[in-house]
């Protein structure tokens, strides 16, 4: 009986990931957008590698991964690391590089201001292209102190029983 899968099989994908990404795939927009940015002017570190030691990941690769995660609701550094190793779109976007979660987290921590500038430019571009609706709502992860006693919380039933 022939085996369905052999351990000696080297790859399941073609050598060129380009064949797997359609021309209208959103990752192509992310790729072109980041490639057109001047990362040095925006304040990203590591744009020009140091003369000594092994060069790290270029900020454009990590920024593409970060924007992809933002668009697809993948915020965790560990989940982004997993996506880079298994998701064909991310493999194409990151040129088959798989940064570890610590590298992704450090990039986010060290380049917070620059990432915010890029996000502003990205939202501006989306508005110019008419990709954002007027009714868009953004919610961040801010935490507020809340007092939620029985006297201060309201349900539909409580609201209808309130004296008018």
In terms of residue numbers, what domain contains 35? 17-139
Q: Is 62 inside a domain boundary?
A: yes
Residues 65, 80 contacting (CB under 8 angstroms)? yes
- 1 pLDDT higher than 70: no
Q: Which residues touch 31 (CB under 8 Å, ≥6 apart)?
A: 64, 93
Q: Is 123 inside a domain boundary?
A: yes
pLDDT in tens, 15-70: 788 888 888 888 999 999 999 999 999 999 888 888 888 888 999 999 999 999 99
Q: What is the number of structural domains in the chain?
A: 1
Q: Is 11 inside a domain boundary?
A: no
Q: Is 21 inside a domain boundary?
A: yes
Rounded CA-CA distance 13/5 in Å is 14
Residues 98, 61 contacting (CB under 8 angstroms)? no
- Going from the C-alpha of 114 to that of each of 29, 31, 37, the distances in angstroms are 19, 17, 11
Rounded CA-CA distance 141/94 in Å is 27
Q: Is 149 inside a domain boundary?
A: no
Q: Is 12 inside a domain boundary?
A: no
Q: Is 49 inside a domain boundary?
A: yes
Q: Across the chain, what does the average pLDDT equal?
A: 85
pLDDT in tens, 110-163: 999 999 999 999 888 888 888 776 765 677 777 766 667 777 777 888 888 887
CB atoms within 10 A of CB 5: 7
């Amino acid at each position: 009986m022939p085996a369905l899968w052999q351990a000696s099989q080297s790859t399941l994908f073609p050598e060129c990931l380009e064949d797997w990404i359609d021309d209208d795939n959103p990752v192509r927009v992310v790729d072109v957008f980041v490639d057109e940015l001047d990362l040095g002017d925006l304040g990203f570190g590591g744009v020009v590698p140091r003369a000594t030691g092994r060069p790290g990941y270029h900020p454009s690769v990590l920024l593409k991964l970060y924007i992809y995660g933002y668009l697809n609701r993948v915020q965790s550094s560990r989940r982004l690391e997993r996506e880079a190793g298994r998701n064909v779109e991310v493999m194409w976007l990151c040129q088959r590089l798989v940064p570890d979660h610590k590298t992704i987290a450090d990039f986010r921590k060290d380049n917070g201001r620059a990432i915010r500038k890029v996000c502003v430019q990205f939202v501006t571009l989306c508005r110019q292209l008419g990709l954002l609706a007027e009714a868009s709502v953004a919610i961040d992860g801010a935490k507020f102190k809340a007092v939620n006693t029985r006297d201060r919380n309201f349900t539909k039933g409580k609201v209808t029983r309130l004296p008018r």
